[in-house]
């Protein structure tokens, strides 16, 4: 039979190690110091606090102000909580007290495994409900608007629904059913889309564009000086959307295409870097089924250039 007994304080070095563990995961250091009940109390508090913060990613759109609020609340709530947990773990580790040797149900390793399992279960159950998803840009096909190394927040609330014309949207590549692509929506069901000598035609009408100088493109290969234009896409009912596109020239491989008739339940996409994009003009992408939509890209939350961080995706 195990009986309670006095146990002296841990050394300062071990107490610091215990504090660091509870700083990383509140309660973990307490468990290692055999203060099991106190450790589980800190763990439960940290988990509930994390769930409260994550509820924002379920209910709110990932627009810049919401991302800033989430980061600020995380810093103001979780950081002090973890510091307090670490300080308490250090105090417990350095105190004289009566401790009960743990049985197998309260063993240190078992508690640690249980904490990790609960954390993984909570994360896996919340992930499908989270409205925010992050994506990184691996290629230069959406220059100049999205650059290699950009990290975006995507709103998944409209997953599987038809996106509006002109929106930059993340979708699952139809040909393999698993690769995430990001392009701009150009044609909706019933639209006729064609490229003629580098110019975009929508329903038989040339989409206007105006010269906007040049752009030094770097990403997939050596830097190239490309022509920059502002294209004005009609959205219907007199509304339009302006965005920048890039062209190497108007005589590239995909600058002349047949006319594409967008079928029901699908849409047509193009990359903004028109001569460096695999999009609906090629068979490997083709028309994108509405069911493949992940969501619109709303906010750039990280970029290599500081002035582009937390900028809306245009």
By annotation, the residues acting in catalysis are 141, 183
Exposure of 6 in the CB half-sphere (CA atoms within 13 A): 2
Nearest to 135 by CA among 186, 74, 179, 174: 179
18, β-bridge pairs: none
For residues 185 and 127, give the distance between their C-alpha atoms in angstroms, rounded to a whole number.
27
Q: Are 111 and 188 contacting, i.e. CB atoms less than 8 angstroms apart? A: no
Q: Which two tokens stand for residue 277?
A: 């994009």
Q: Are 293 and 287 contacting, i.e. CB atoms less than 8 angstroms apart? A: no
Q: Which residues of 56-89 are buried (b: 16+ CB within 10 A; e: fewer)?
A: bbeebebebebbeebeeeeeeeeeebbeebbebb
CA distances from 100 to 2, 95, 103, 127 (A): 8, 15, 9, 39
For residues 30 and 253, give the distance between their C-alpha atoms in angstroms, rounded to a whole number.
64
């Amino acid at each position: 039979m195990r009986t309670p007994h006095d146990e002296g304080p841990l050394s300062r070095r071990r107490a610091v190690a215990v504090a660091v563990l509870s700083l990383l995961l509140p309660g973990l250091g307490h468990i290692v110091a055999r203060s099991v009940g106190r450790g589980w109390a800190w763990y439960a508090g940290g988990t509930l606090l994390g769930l409260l913060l994550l509820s924002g990613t379920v209910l709110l759109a990932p627009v810049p102000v919401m991302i800033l609020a989430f980061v600020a609340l995380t810093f103001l709530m979780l950081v002090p909580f973890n510091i307090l947990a670490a300080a308490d773990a250090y105090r417990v580790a350095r105190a004289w007290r009566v401790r009960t040797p743990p049985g197998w149900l309260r063993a240190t390793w078992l508690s640690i495994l249980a904490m990790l399992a609960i954390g993984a279960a909570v994360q896996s159950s919340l992930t499908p409900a989270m409205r925010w998803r992050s994506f990184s840009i691996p290629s230069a096909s959406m220059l100049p608007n999205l650059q290699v190394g950009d990290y975006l927040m995507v709103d998944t609330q409209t997953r599987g629904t038809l996106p509006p014309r002109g929106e930059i949207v993340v979708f699952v590549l139809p040909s393999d059913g698993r690769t995430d692509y990001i392009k701009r929506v150009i044609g909706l069901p019933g639209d006729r889309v064609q490229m003629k000598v580098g110019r975009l035609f929508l329903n038989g009408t040339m989409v206007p564009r105006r010269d906007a100088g040049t752009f030094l493109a770097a990403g997939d290969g050596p830097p190239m000086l490309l022509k920059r234009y502002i294209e004005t896409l009609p959205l219907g009912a007199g509304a339009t959307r302006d965005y920048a596109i890039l062209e190497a020239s108007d005589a590239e491989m995909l600058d002349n295409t047949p006319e594409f008739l967008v079928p029901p339940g699908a849409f047509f996409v193009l990359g903004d870097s028109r001569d460096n994009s695999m999009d609906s003009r090629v068979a490997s992408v083709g028309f994108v089924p509405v069911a493949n939509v992940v969501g619109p890209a709303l906010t750039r939350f990280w970029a290599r250039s500081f002035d582009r961080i937390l900028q809306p995706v245009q």
